[in-house]
């Protein structure tokens, strides 16, 4: 006979009720939840005994008077105007990501709700990954690995040469924290750096292009790392891809919808663009199958930002932001 689940001792349960309350809309990393649950009490809609019968709106209505903080990673669950209006006492939306396209920032501003994100926690790891993509695509590392593992070296002989990185013209779309780290690394490789951003960066030594098409035309490698907004969706369209050209390489470690994926696939298949390194896609986890057949394309499953080290840094940042909020101290990464 199966034993009933053990209940926590009364004093433990009472102590848990005294912890600050945080709403989470979807499961966190197990290690995250374990560490955070020692300091905060979570409301989890999916664990509600009637969650399969009642919509999220009903759950929020039941707890609306007690929810001041929402922790939401996205992109599945969104903090939109409907969720915000259902939580009249909401004061903070905290996301453990850099991107905030799952949050209605305008509505938060209108209602005076603070928003905090992951800040610069992922900048170094994402920059490293972007440079890895550049080297892999140019020097054909992943394709060469498949060539050797497939037993083709003894059969076909010499493998086609890749291209050198030093001296390449690199255009960076989005010279924020991550873009600046990428520029720093590729500058050390002897690359010529240019960038496109919402505004010119007065402190930047690199050439600024107001028009992304002009940046692409002046680049051998185009790296996309800007935030996803309504204005930047499909910022890389067919015109930009054709401007990059048949020998050009495009790298995306930002968000999938920054690039018109159908046009990118068409340009790669037809040889209008020389190669690509893609960590993000428009309809994740679905990836266009045409890309699987291309040796000049390197793919990864949206993991550019994550290492075990950055996850631990992020955990400490989330804890610090939550503790700052509940003790009326300034948030560390207020947007």
Peptide bond into 332 cis (omega under 30): no
Do residues 279 and 250 make contact, with C-beta atoms less than 8 angstroms apart?
A: no
CB atoms within 10 A of CB 103: 25
- Residue keyed to tokens 């107001």: 210
Catalytic residue among 82, 284, 290, 309: 284
Q: How many CA atoms lie within 13 A of 221 on its CB side?
A: 29
- Percentages helix, strand, coil for the chain (3-state, rounded to 5) are 40, 15, 45
Residue 234 annotated as catalytic: no
Catalytic residue among 238, 266, 302, 323: 302
Return the SS3 of 160. Answer: coil
Q: What is the C-alpha separation between 94 and 115, in angstroms, rounded?
A: 6
Whole-number CA gyration radius for the chain? 23
26 DSSP 8-state letter: S
Compute CA 52 distance to the chain's CA centroid, rounded to the nearest angstrom.
Answer: 30
What is the phi/psi pair of residue 116, to 5°?
A: -130, 145
Q: Report the run of H or E that residue 31 belongs to, with start and end.
A: helix 30-36
Residue 284 annotated as catalytic: yes
Tokens of 47: 């664990």
Catalytic residue among 102, 181, 255, 263: 255
> What SS3 string covers 129-171?
HHHHHHHHHHHCHHHHHHHHHCCCHHHHCCCCCCCCCCCCEEE
Residue 255 annotated as catalytic: yes
Q: What is the C-alpha separation between 59 and 26, in angstroms, rounded?
A: 14
Catalytic positions are 255, 284, 302
């Amino acid at each position: 006979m199966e034993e009933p689940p053990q209940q926590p001792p009364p004093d433990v349960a009472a102590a848990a009720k005294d912890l600050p309350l945080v709403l989470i809309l979807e499961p966190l990393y197990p290690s995250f939840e374990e560490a955070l649950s020692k300091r905060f009490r979570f409301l989890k809609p999916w664990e509600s005994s009637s969650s399969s019968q009642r919509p999220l709106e009903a759950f929020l209505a039941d707890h609306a008077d007690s929810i001041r903080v929402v922790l939401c990673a996205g992109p599945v669950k969104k903090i939109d105007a409907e969720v915000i209006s259902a939580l009249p006492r909401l004061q903070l939306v905290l996301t453990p990501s850099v991107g905030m396209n799952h949050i209605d920032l305008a509505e938060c501003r209108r209602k005076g709700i603070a928003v905090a994100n992951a800040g610069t926690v992922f900048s170094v790891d994402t920059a490293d990954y972007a440079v890895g993509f550049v080297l892999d695509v140019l020097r054909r590392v992943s394709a060469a690995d498949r060539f050797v593992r497939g037993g083709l070296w003894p059969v076909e002989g010499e493998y086609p040469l890749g291209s050198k990185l030093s001296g390449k013209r690199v255009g960076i779309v989005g010279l924020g924290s991550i873009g600046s780290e990428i520029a720093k690394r590729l500058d050390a490789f002897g690359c010529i750096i240019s960038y496109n951003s919402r505004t010119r960066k007065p402190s930047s030594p690199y050439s600024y292009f107001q028009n992304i098409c002009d940046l692409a035309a002046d680049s051998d490698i185009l790296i996309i790392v800007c935030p996803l907004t309504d204005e930047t969706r499909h910022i890389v369209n067919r015109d930009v891809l054709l401007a990059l050209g048949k020998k050009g390489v495009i790298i995306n470690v930002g968000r999938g919808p920054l690039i018109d994926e159908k046009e990118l696939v068409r340009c790669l298949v037809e040889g209008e663009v020389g190669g690509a390194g893609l960590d993000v896609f428009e309809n994740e986890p679905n990836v266009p199958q045409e890309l699987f057949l291309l040796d000049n394309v390197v793919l990864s499953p949206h993991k550019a930002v994550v290492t075990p080290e950055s996850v631990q840094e992020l955990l400490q940042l989330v804890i610090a932001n939550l503790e700052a909020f509940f003790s009326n101290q300034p948030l560390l990464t207020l947007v």
